[in-house]
């Protein structure tokens, strides 16, 4: 079954509104001359940049995502953002459980699960991140960690909702480090993730779920990674911050 390639740029805490708009204008300038419409392309700016980017992408196939969502509808949660706010701002996707959230902001599989339920409630497409730390890989615990994150993160989710969810495999040792997992290493992890999804939700759902790779993906390695059977795209940090790099990466991921 062919799954459509999905490339999402996680801008992290980069790009104010003017800079975000300028990056989208650069991406748009290449439209018609590139093949990026053949993939689902998503950009995930910081919250205060979302409004400018939603305006800037109008009339294009580029979709906008957020980098976090709170599980409550509203209330006394200083510094957080709700699904209703994101939906009203024109957001369609949301990254949940990025390793930086897990590492610096106390995100756990339980909070990932609560945020995932909120995203689904507001009809936002979740991009749920999983991945092992370097010492977990070195001590042979990669599969155990991925299984735990999947069971905890996707607890009490219906098969129908799971089929809409995107998973991003992001080995933490490869994020922002320039160290990319080899295609074989990444494929083995993706295969394990799909197997676990099949065990929880059935083969049919597992075949539908798109699993992105994230961790120092760039134009020079995207083609080989996305050519792997269970790798359906990428969640991109550094290489999403310049239009030319992002477009080159998309082209390579599509095998063009
Ligand atoms: C990320 O933050 O999700 C990521 C994959 O970053 P980078 O591409 O910079 O490694």
pLDDT tens digit sequence for 184-216 = 999 999 999 999 999 999 999 999 999 999 999
Q: Are 79 and 44 in contact (CB under 8 A)?
A: no
Q: Which two tokens stand for residue 178?
A: 């320039």
Q: What backbone phi and psi angles, to 5 degrees, belong to 147?
A: -60, -45
pLDDT in tens, 37-67: 899 999 999 999 999 999 999 999 999 999 9
**Would you call 71 helix, strand, or coil by DSSP?**
coil
For ligand 1, atom 7, which residue shows the shortest CA distance?
Answer: 237
**127 C-alpha vs ligand 1 centroid, how far in Å?**
14
**193 C-alpha vs ligand 1 centroid, how far in Å?**
19
Which numbered atom of ligand 1 lies nearest the CA of 175? 10
Global pTM exceeds 0.95: yes
CB distance 44 to ligand 1 below 6 Å: no
Residue 36 has what pLDDT? Answer: 74
The percentage of residues in the chain with a pLDDT greater than 90, rounded to a whole number, is 93
pLDDT in tens, 133-171: 999 999 999 999 999 999 999 999 999 999 999 999 999
**181 C-alpha vs ligand 1 centroid, how far in Å?**
12
Q: What backbone phi and psi angles, to 5 degrees, belong to 90?
A: 95, 15
* pLDDT-derived band at 1, boundaries 50, 70, 90: low
**Would you call 33 helix, strand, or coil by DSSP?**
coil
| Active-site annotation holds for 98 | yes
């Amino acid at each position: 079954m062919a799954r459509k390639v999905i490339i999402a740029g996680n801008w992290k805490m980069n790009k104010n509104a003017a800079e975000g708009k300028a990056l989208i204008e650069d991406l748009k300038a290449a439209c018609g001359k590139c093949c990026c419409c053949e993939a689902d392309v998503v950009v995930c700016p910081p919250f205060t940049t979302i409004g400018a980017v939603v305006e800037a992408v109008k009339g294009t196939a580029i979709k906008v995502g957020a980098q976090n969502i709170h599980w409550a509808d509203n209330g006394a949660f200083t510094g957080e953002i709700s699904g209703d706010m994101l939906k009203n701002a024109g957001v369609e996707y949301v990254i949940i459980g990025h390793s930086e959230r897990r590492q610096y902001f106390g995100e756990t599989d339980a909070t990932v699960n609560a945020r995932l339920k909120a995203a689904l409630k507001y009809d936002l497409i979740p991009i749920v991140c999983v991945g092992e730390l370097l010492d977990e890989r070195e001590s042979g615990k990669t599969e155990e960690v991925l299984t735990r994150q999947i069971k905890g993160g996707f607890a009490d989710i219906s098969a129908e909702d799971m089929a809409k969810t995107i998973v991003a495999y992001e080995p933490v040792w490869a994020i922002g480090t320039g160290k990319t997992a080899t295609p074989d290493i990444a494929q083995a992890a993706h295969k394990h993730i799909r197997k676990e999804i099949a065990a929880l939700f059935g083969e049919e759902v597992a075949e539908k779920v798109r699993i992105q790779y994230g961790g120092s993906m760039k134009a020079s390695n995207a083609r080989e990674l996305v050519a792997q059977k269970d790798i359906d795209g990428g969640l991109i940090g550094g290489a999403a911050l310049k239009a030319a790099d992002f477009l080159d990466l998309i082209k390579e991921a599509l095998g063009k």
